[in-house]
Amino acid sequence: MSAVLGPNSYGKSEVRLVKVDRGAERHELRDLTVAVALTGDFEAAHMRGDNTGLLATDTMRNTVYALARQHPIESPEAFAALLVEHFLQAGPSVTGARVRIVEHPWARVGSHPQAFEREAGGEHVAIVTGDGAGIAVQAGIDDLLVLKTSGSGWEGFEREQYTSLPETDDRIMATVVTALWDYRHAAEVGYGQTWAAARATVLGAFGDHYSPSVQFTLRRMGEAVIDAHPEIERVHFSLPNRHHLLFDLERFGLDNPNVVFQPTTEPYGLIEGTVERG
């Protein structure tokens, strides 16, 4: 049997970028992590060690900083699209580019024009891909830790010889939301405003119902996003179940009416799914 080269790409990951826009009255801060991946005809490099026409990944890193200096960063999506357009012109062997940007949020300290604190509540993810004929834009949320102390249960599940988990109609529900959605018409989207509004929709839907399962809440959040935002075609969620176990205090002569819990991070249940327009 002979081996052939299959799909491949190369690029630069974990490019850390902070940009300060120094206005006369106040400063604006962008804190990004950028990953670049190129696809194309790179067979010569793999098969013969011929690097002719290949852009060095070091050059990709430098390009991120250079374009950040020359252009405003209005949103992660817009900056990713700018990078994609640039890298599609990187050489005749390049046929596709993919840029993933994660924005790490900072909040202004009070009304101070130049002081910031790290903001909790999830990171802004943007993924832009292009092949010369057009671009596709995805956006989403990463590392959004949410919890509700009631309004959730887990009952009626299959029981067999190895089942030990008791049923409950009142439990803590916690998860770390990872969401990624596809825009229907990317050129017509106001990226920053839409991301903030979709995040608010996800948070509102997380808390607005009794949840018999993480699966039910996944569908509820996705449906809310699709209903509220016509510019979004579909949304995918990955929801780890951050268990909070009721701690046994009876051995100490104490009751525990659903007030003292032991949080665990592993092992954990992982629920994933996509909600899209019919």
Instruction: Note whether 142 and 193 are same-domain residues.
Output: yes
> Across all residues in the chain, what is the average pLDDT?
95
Instruction: Note whether 129 and 141 are same-domain residues.
Output: no
Looking at residues 25-44, what average pLDDT do you find? 96
- Which residues fall within 8 angstroms of residue 219, CB to CB, at 6 or more apart? 273, 275
Instruction: Note whether 122 and 147 are same-domain residues.
Output: no
CA distances from 123 to 104, 139, 155, 250, 260 (A): 5, 11, 33, 41, 30
Query: What digits encode the pLDDT tens for the residues 105-115?
Result: 999 999 999 99
Measured at the CA of 174, the angle between CA 75 and CA 260, to 5 degrees, comes to 140
- Check residue 124 and give its pLDDT: 98
Instruction: Note whether 194 and 128 are same-domain residues.
Output: no
Scanning the structure block, which residue is given the tokens 């013969």? 48
Instruction: Note whether 93 and 221 are same-domain residues.
Output: no
**Of the residues 124, 229, 236, 243, which is catalytic?**
243
For residue 172, give the CATH number of its domain: 3.10.270.10
**Of the residues 33, 57, 95, 149, which is catalytic?**
57
- Contact call for residues 140 and 118 (beta carbons, < 8 A): no
Give the span between the Cα atoms of 78 and 122, in whole angstroms. 19
Domain span including residue 180: 135-278
243: annotated active-site residue: yes
Q: What are the structure tokens assigned to 228, written together?
A: 């509220």
Number of domains in the chain: 2
**What's this model's pTM, rounded to 2 decimal places?**
0.93
57: annotated active-site residue: yes
In a domain, 250, yes or no: yes
Scanning the structure block, which residue is given the tokens 């098969």? 47
120 residue type, one letter: A
Give the span between the Cα atoms of 95 and 40, in whole angstroms. 5
236: annotated active-site residue: no
